[in-house]
């Protein structure tokens, strides 16, 4: 039995965790509304009306729906079918027609190389088993000159000890897989994949980054 198979058998599956908390997540207010609005504004500075956008780990869809009027199309994906159901409900109520919500993981997502203008992944990179593989995949999906926009909690910078707590919380089903990464590690992963950091802002514990693929 491989280590990965053993882990899959003993750890709760991430989709189950996120399905379970989706209703509560949808009702939770944004922690820092002013910072969130500024991140939306900065992201829009990179948009054009003809752009094809992907968001992975879109949760209940608020960010994709907020950006929908500024681009041609957004494919918004999440591992949790419950999150996607809530997101689709919001889009239906708002009459949003250019966002396609879809239940899939970043690992299984099939996107042709160099086909996207912008990829967004917010509060998700530190939740992935293989962040480097996801970043490399995003780099492949982007057109030359395309950008990857991401907000990530770099827990390693303010709670490095959390790496001892996280595995226990996960086994007990109280939290998903959480990687204790630092800002330096995240920036190094992005540059190792071929990105240049075009913009970085850290208003709170979340690091907001726009990483650009060479034109």
Q: Which of 74, 76, 106, 154 binds ligand SAM (CB under 6 A)?
A: 106
Paired tokens of 147: 């950008």
- DSSP type of residue 8: H
In whole angstroms, the minimum distance from the beta carbon of 176 to ligand SAM comes to 7
Establish if 59 lies at the interface with ligand SAM (CB under 6 A): yes
Interface of this chain with ligand SAM, residues 128 to 157, rule: CB under 6 A? 128
Cβ nearer to ligand SAM, comparing 83 with 149: 83
- In whole angstroms, the minimum distance from the beta carbon of 66 to ligand SAM comes to 11
181 lies in the binding site for ligand SAM (CB under 6 A): no
Residue 56 binds ligand SAM, judged by CB under 6 A: yes
Please return the burial class of 213, using the count of CB atoms within 10 Å of its CB with bins 0-12, 13-18 and 19+: buried
DSSP percent split of the chain into helix, strand, coil, nearest 5: 45, 25, 35
Judge whether 178 and 166 are in contact, CB under 8 Å.
Answer: yes
Q: Tell me the window of 37-45, 77-85, 156-164, 201-209 that interacts with ligand SAM (CB under 6 A).
A: 77-85
> How far apart are the C-alpha atoms of 76 and 209, rounded to whole Å?
19
Contact status: 124 vs ligand SAM (CB under 6 A): yes
Residue 2 vs residues 6, 11, 105, 170, 198: alpha-carbon distances, Å: 6, 14, 22, 20, 40
83 binds ligand SAM (CB under 6 A): yes
Q: Which stretches of the chain bind ligand SAM, using CB under 6 A?
A: 14, 18, 56-59, 78-80, 83, 105-107, 122-124, 127-128
């Amino acid at each position: 039995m491989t280590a990965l198979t053993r882990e899959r058998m003993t750890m709760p599956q991430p989709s189950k965790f996120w399905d379970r908390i989706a209703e509560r997540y949808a009702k939770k207010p944004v922690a820092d509304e002013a910072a969130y609005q500024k991140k939306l504004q900065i992201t829009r500075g990179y948009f054009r009306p003809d752009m094809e956008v992907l968001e992975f780990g879109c949760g209940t869809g608020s960010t994709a729906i907020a950006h929908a009027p500024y681009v041609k199309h957004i494919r918004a994906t999440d591992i949790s079918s419950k999150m996607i159901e809530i997101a689709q409900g919001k889009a239906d109520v708002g009459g949003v027609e250019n966002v396609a919500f879809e239940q899939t993981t970043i690992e299984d997502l099939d996107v042709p190389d160099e086909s996207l203008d912008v990829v967004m992944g917010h509060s998700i990179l530190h939740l992935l088993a293989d962040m480097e593989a996801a970043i490399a995949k995003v780099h492949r999906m982007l057109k030359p000159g395309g950008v990857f926009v991401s907000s990530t909690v770099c827990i390693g910078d303010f709670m490095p000890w959390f790496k001892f707590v996280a595995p226990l919380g996960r086994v007990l089903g109280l939290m998903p897989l959480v990687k204790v990464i630092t800002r330096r590690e995240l920036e190094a992963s992005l540059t190792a994949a071929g990105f240049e950091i075009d913009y970085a802002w850290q208003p709170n514990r979340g690091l907001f980054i726009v990483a650009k693929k060479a034109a």
